[in-house]
Structure 1
Amino acid sequence: MTPKARAEKAAAAMWAEDCASQSIGMEIAEVDAGRAVLTLTVQPEHCNGHGICHGGITFMLADSAFAFACNSRNQMTVAQHNSISYLAPGQLGDTLRAEACEVSLRGRSGLYDVTVTNQNGQMIAAFRGASRALKGTVFEE
């Protein structure tokens, strides 16, 4: 199996059980080994009292992209810790794009950067996640 095919199969298996990401309207745009892109169109229910995209929604989108990237090699992997910097607000109607890229993978520990942009390419947030591999796989191989 090619690395891309493995990543796609892992993403499909995870997506089938990912009620959280699906329930707010995320979509998987791309996956590959150590990489994932998820999108979300900002709806009224995603906005806070200031009328902009709630930071928790932006974080959730980045975190989900991170999850698909770090599980792309079919090794069950979870977040160890992560952080986000908000650079600009997401607006109602924006299509947000979270692109997660592997920075380092050594043993059971990984490091991933996620960039969240809007449909105009404006950077909305920068997320960094550290992962930890567990025993087990995402799907039977």
Structure 2
Amino acid sequence: MADAATTPTRTMMQRDQASAALGMVVELDEPGHAVVSMRVRDDMTNGFHITHGGFVFTLADTAFAIACNEDHTVTVAAGADITFLKSTVAGQTLTATARRRARSGRTGLYDVTVVDEQGDAVAEFRGRSISTNRTI
């Protein structure tokens, strides 16, 4: 794992109030690779008592953001898609693993797999990134 004091995402995540409010934990932060976990709370479930898809997307999006911000250039999402594969419930822990698939010029492509505590796939997310002219 990269030294947390020197990774550009450290500053980004210190400012990320949404991920902090959801209780996300950065497990791994390496260039092009990130792992983030989150325990599903009761207030993260929908009317069917299953995890709201928006929270699964947000977890995957956070792992994607960490993976694509691998240098000191601010990189943001240009687009993302998600496929939900399995429902989960409050009390379960979800883990999102993001990996860079391609990076060329200012754009990148990243895949994120979200699994439950049993290792079963919950969702597959594909994010497309674009680097800005700003620095972290």
Q: Verify same fold: TM over 0.5.
A: yes
Greater Cα offset, 59-68 or 72-81 = 72-81
SS of 2:119's equivalent in the other structure is coil
Question: 5+ residue gaps in structure 1?
Answer: none
Percent of pairs with identical residues:
39
Equivalent residues of 1:6, 1:73 under 8 A apart: no
Counterpart pick for 1:35 among 33, 36, 39: 33
Question: In structure 1, what is the Cα distance between the partners aligned to 2:5 and 2:86?
Answer: 31
Contact map agreement 2:97 2:113 (CA 8 A) in 1 = yes
Q: For residue 15 of structure 1, report the CA deviation from its aligned partner.
A: 1.1
List alignment gaps of at least 5 residues for structure 2.
none
Runs of 4+ displaced beyond 4 Å: none
Q: Alignment RMSD, CA only? A: 1.6
Q: Equivalent of 2:49, from 48, 51, 60?
A: 51
Structure with the higher fraction of residues in strand conformation: 2
Normalising by structure 1, report the TM-score: 0.92
Letter in 1 for 2:125: F
Q: Which residue of 2 aligns with 1:12?
A: 10
Cα deviation per residue 1:70-118 (whole Å; 9 max; x = unaligned)?
0022221000010000000122111100000000000000000000000
Q: 1:65 and 1:27, CA in 2 relative to 1: closer, same or farther beyond 3 A?
A: same
**Shift of the alpha carbon at 1:4?**
3.0
- After TM superposition, give the deviation of residue 7 of structure 1 in Å: 9.0
- Name the structure 2 match of 1:79: 77
Partner letter of residue 76 of structure 1?
V
